[in-house]
């Protein structure tokens, strides 16, 4: 099959983390053998800005990669999903199974995602079908109906997230390929101005994470980015996870990403204290952790996430920091 790749100047409407792997309609059966796969200028620049010359070289090989793995795994390729840092495209296997092919510049995060899906083996997460770890290419089953839970009523979404967490978590042996979340905490060390968010706030957040990491009694395989857009409705379970980061750590750490999402949460500013308190109470009830521990993780991770935003974009961190402040003032005792 010949695959041609064209660059569009149009901006993608969503990032890979916002992809619903079952939502977009694709008429794969009527695709000709020669297809044009559009990528946006945003995707091209994200790839080059993130990976430099390696990213530019990878983009040049992308048509050949698509053809290689379509042939290797007997795939009829459909349309790509909205793109940000990885190329994700709908497909159908020779046996008729709807699938999703995901490719990216080979890197540690992508390998961790593959390894996590391999460990999950479909328990609470999308099924991994094939993978070429070194090449950063893998095939997963498509999720139907594949609707993210971002539009659900908040209590229902929170309880569903807790159920998914319970299915995903697995104790890790002493030897495993996953990085520990303490490496994320180390990111605070890259801050040139530790008072960027206010005097002492970063110091407090880092100290909380170090303390929580030190007294954790379990180390499990964490999804690492389990927010509303990474939890999709499915037929074989009420909901399953996609796009795991694949990190090792305290299971209570997992709630942090959910607490500070979805992105528009801050627009309900008058209800934020009640929303945070209710979410933490539900997670405590269903997962068995003390509310204070969950709130501490939520606050500290939100501060860390704000710093990541500064690193990546230089701006846009204010909403995340507002959530950190709400958790700190309404849910933390000290």
Tens of pLDDT, residues 61-98: 999 999 999 999 999 999 999 888 899 999 999 999 99
Q: pTM value?
A: 0.88
Name which of 164, 263, 262, 251 is nearest 216 in CA terms.
251
Polymer length of the chain: 334
For the chain, domain boundaries: 3-145, 148-330
Tens of pLDDT, residues 263-316: 777 776 688 999 999 999 999 999 999 999 999 999 999 999 999 999 887 778
Name which of 82, 89, 102 is nearest 13 in CA terms.
82
Query: How do strand 87-93 and strand 75-80 relate by DSSP bridges?
Result: antiparallel
Alpha helices in the chain (DSSP H): 41-72, 108-120, 154-168, 182-185, 201-214, 255-259, 272-287, 291-313, 318-330
d(CA 90, CA 88): 7
CA-angle at 130, arms to 99 and 140, nearest 5°: 30
Tens of pLDDT, residues 208-234: 999 999 999 999 999 999 999 999 999
CATH of domain 148-330: 3.90.1200.10
| Residues contacting residue 214 through CB under 8 Å, at least 6 positions apart | none
Spell 8-17 as b/e; 16+ CB within 10 A means b. Answer: eeeebeebbb
Please report where in the chains the tokens 């530790």 appear, as a residue: 194
The HSE-up count of residue 236 (CA atoms within 13 Å, CB side) is 11
Position 13 scores a pLDDT of 28
Average pLDDT, integer, range 120-125: 97
């Amino acid at each position: 099959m010949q695959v041609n790749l064209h660059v569009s100047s149009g901006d993608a409407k969503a990032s890979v983390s916002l992809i619903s792997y079952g939502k977009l309609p694709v008429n794969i059966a009527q695709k000709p053998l020669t297809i044009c796969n559009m990528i946006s200028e945003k995707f091209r620049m994200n790839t080059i800005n993130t990976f430099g010359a390696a990213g530019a070289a990878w983009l040049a090989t992308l048509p050949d990669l698509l053809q290689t793995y379509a042939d290797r795994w007997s795939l009829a390729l459909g349309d790509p999903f909205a793109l940000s840092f990885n190329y994700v495209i709908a497909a159908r296997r020779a046996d008729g199974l709807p699938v999703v092919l995901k490719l990216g510049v080979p890197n540690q995060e992508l390998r961790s995602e593959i390894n996590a899906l391999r460990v999950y083996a479909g328990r609470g997460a999308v099924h991994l079908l094939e993978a070429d770890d070194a090449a950063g290419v893998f095939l997963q089953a498509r999720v139907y109906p594949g609707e993210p839970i971002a539009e659900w009523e908040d209590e229902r979404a929170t309880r569903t997230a807790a159920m998914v967490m319970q299915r995903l978590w697995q104790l890790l042996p002493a030897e495993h390929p996953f990085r520990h979340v303490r490496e994320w905490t180390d990111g605070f060390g890259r801050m040139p101005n530790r008072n960027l968010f206010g005097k002492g706030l970063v110091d407090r957040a880092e100290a909380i994470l170090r303390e929580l990491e030190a007294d954790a009694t379990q180390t499990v395989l964490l999804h690492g980015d389990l927010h509303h857009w990474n939890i999709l409705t499915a037929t074989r379970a009420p909901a399953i996870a996609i796009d795991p980061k694949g990190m090792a750590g305290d299971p209570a750490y997992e709630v942090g990403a959910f607490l500070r999402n979805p992105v528009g949460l801050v627009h309900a500013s008058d209800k934020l204290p009640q929303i945070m308190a209710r979410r933490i109470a539900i997670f405590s009830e269903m997962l068995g952790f003390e509310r204070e521990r969950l709130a501490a993780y939520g606050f500290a991770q939100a501060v860390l996430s704000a710093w990541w935003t500064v690193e990546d974009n230089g701006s846009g961190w204010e909403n995340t920091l507002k959530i950190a402040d709400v958790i700190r003032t309404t849910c933390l005792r000290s």
